[in-house]
Amino acid sequence: MRNNKRKARPSPKKAAKLNQKLDEARQAWASGRVGQAETLYQQLVEQHPGFADAWFHLGSLYKQIRKFGRAIDCLERACELCPGEKNHWSALAEACQQANRMLELEPVLRKLVDFEPASPIALLNLGICLKKLNKSVQAIEYLERGLKYDPTNIVGRSTLAFALLDIGETEQTRELLLEVKQDDPDNVIVLRQLALMTRHEDYSDDIKHMEKLFDSNLSNEDRSLLGFAVAKAFDDIGETERSFSYLERSNALKRETFEYSIPDRGNYFDEIRSVFTREFIESIPALENTGVTPVFVIGMPRSGTSLVEQILASHSRVYGAGELSCLSRGCMALSNALGTAFPGSFQQAPVEQLQDLGRQYISELIAAADGSPIVVDKLPHNFIFAGVVLSLFDNAKIVHCERDPMATCYSIYRNSFGGHHGYAYSQEELGSYYLLYERLMAHWQVVAPERIYTASYEALVANPRDETEKLLAYCGLDTEAACFEFYKTRRVVGTVSNTQVRRPIYKDSLAGWMRYEKELKPMQEALKYSGPR
């Protein structure tokens, strides 16, 4: 039944007092007394919870001092109280963006598009957000709409190019990137992608330009990104010494930008093994009637996870959802709620709270599933959370992708990844991390050998038909011809493998690392590598 009561408006006298207190808080903030301003705003929202301006200013203050979680909570309340106030929604969008909370950002940006349907900023921001969420088809629509109003926008055009690449429109991507390059010849991201898409034949002007730019006053992050492209170009033309020189420098530059500890990671993996014993996993009541079958494709990056997902996603009953972060986010949210880091949080949580985590994951999976009964979650590092999967989802399938350790690690070392892969930029750390990963996977194989299928990249390349049939059978799927011609399947692929999965299985990458065998000695020693395992 509709409630026809109107919210009581404050009397003019009360409104004047509220605005006087609000001005007092504003003045404190403006004069640098942030703590006092925070206290005054908090008093206002506690005493007058329906005062939208107070929530807005408190949220804006939290945003400025980088307490983004609190900022988002306050600004959401302001938007709820005054849904027609565009400034509130704009501030909420900024907070979500700064906190990198893309899932929460999307509906806020859609609201801003509703406010201004012809605003290029609103349309392009929504398109960029959708691209980051791997919703490239929707992203293309909004990016194209935004570019009609602002056709020269560099970020919008380059993002559109990458969204087109995700859906397999390689030539359109190349054309658009070349146009952007004409207007912005030193755009590192564009130059890198063009280098990845080009088979260089000689020491061209493009390579010379990238070399010159690499030696200019770029940030370490940009120099590293560009250096990977130069290394790839020199590899194309057979200049292995120069290629590896750029590869080493690029990895070293990237490694300087963050702190990372292999011993800490080893301790973390040890704790995971100690918590997720077979007895503990079997003691957790699994969810019933999930309505969808999750298939987790796990392993190290560059081990064939994208290839396996593409094969499965070519089946009529399967949807390939890409690299979903919802499982790790759910575990992080559980840790935040309990004040205990994972995996201790999972061990301490009441069963109902664990099942809430599982239900939230399944709801996000169904939302991404496009109506398919089977959904592939291809986040390689979910091997860390395999114990969560084994505990909560009895119907889940786990496909572990395995590849020769040197081939895997070299492929990681020669690529620059989005997100945080702290182990990836040092030969020694990369090899050491790989051994930690192997040890953790060996634990899962002991704990639940009947529930994990190992897909060997080398076996798949050598016998694609037989191995594909085995993979499909494990997932409870009948054989479909499209799975053998996976490279023809049109779907979004948002990883560095997005061009490779659109061609038939090829063997030229199996031992590419051997051309750099001498340079990769530190990696081999860290891996204790004596040959294919």
Q: Which of 47-51, 405-409, 441-445, 520-524 shows the lowest per-residue confidence on average (mean pLDDT)?
A: 47-51
Please give the pLDDT value at position 487. Answer: 81
65 by DSSP, 3-state: which?
coil
Quick one: the chain helix, strand, coil %, rounded to 5?
Answer: 65, 5, 30
154 by DSSP, 3-state: which?
helix
Tokens for 21, please give them.
Answer: 């207190």
231: CB partners within 8 A, 6+ apart: 243, 244, 245, 246, 247, 250, 414
Instruction: List, for residues 194-210, the tens digit of each pLDDT value.
Output: 999 999 999 999 999 99
Question: 224-255 as b/e, with b when 16 or more CB fall inside 10 Å?
Answer: bbbbbbbbbbbbbbebeebbbbbbbbbbebbb
Indicate if the pLDDT at residue 176 is higher than 90: yes
Spatial distance between the Cα atoms of 158 and 156, rounded to a whole number of angstroms:
6
Instruction: List, for residues 316-360, the tens digit of each pLDDT value.
Output: 999 999 888 899 999 999 999 999 999 999 999 999 999 999 999
- Report whether 159 contacts 139 (CB < 8 A): yes
Residue 479 is classified by DSSP as -
Q: Which of 47-61, 443-457, 506-520 shows the lowest per-residue confidence on average (mean pLDDT)?
A: 506-520
Please classify residue 523 by burial: count the beta carbons closer than 10 Å to its beta carbon, then call 0-12 exposed, 13-18 middle and 19+ buried: buried
The H or E element that residue 166 is part of is: helix 154-166
Indicate if the pLDDT at residue 486 is higher than 50: yes
Indicate if the pLDDT at residue 501 is higher than 80: no
**Residue located via tokens 């690029």:** 250
The size of the chain, in residues, is: 533
**Residue located via tokens 């100690």:** 274
337: CB partners within 8 A, 6+ apart: 345, 353
